[in-house]
Amino acid sequence: MRRLLVAAMAAALISPVAATTAAAAQSPAVASAALATTAVPARTLPLKSLAEQRTAALAVAARYAAQAPNLSWQQKSRNADDLATRLRLPNIGVAERALAIGKTQLGTTYLYGGSTPRGFDCSGLTQFAFAKAGATLPRTAAQQRRATRVVTSPRVGDLVFIGGRTPYHVGIYVGNNRMLHSPRPGKAVQIATIWTTATYGRV
């Protein structure tokens, strides 16, 4: 009698598991449903549109420009390199990139013959900014004028030349009759009003 009771209890415990296993074997759909209840859905982040990428990149550029006067030349160099990559988007042109990169050097002391964040002269700054933006310019203001297309209505990012057909000074147009430039010994890279007659060149 005792053996019969033990056998009956064992059968009662095993039968639900066996029934589930058998049902799964007979119906693949049941097995799939069982797995689906434990699966963790993959989390995907939406890709940013080009417009959103542009807005984000230009926000970083504006932050770098605001910080620039208080940064070391090493940090300015790193920021310029970062923007050279970050701003390389199909909806940001070379001139706009060059201006943003040039602004990372605000506050850098004028250095005759300088073309690095340690110090810039006027054409060294423009050459540096456009090189980081992906365009090659020659070294002097006069050479840069000959290498660009003369325009009469400047756009943001165009080069500004002071001194007629053989200019002695160059900067980058920022709009509203102002330019980014490295002025002269004793001064630093700054944005200033264009104080005299200028000509303009488009890279």
Contacts of 128 (CB under 8 A, 6+ apart): 80, 101, 102, 105, 115, 116, 117, 120
C-alpha 92: how far from chain center: 10
Q: Which helix (H) or strand (E) holds 92?
A: none
Nearest by Cα to 84 from 92, 181, 21 = 92
C-alpha 1: how far from chain center: 84
Catalogue the active-site residues: 122, 169, 181
Nearest by Cα to 200 from 145, 131, 163 = 145
CA dist 158 and 129 (Å) reads: 12
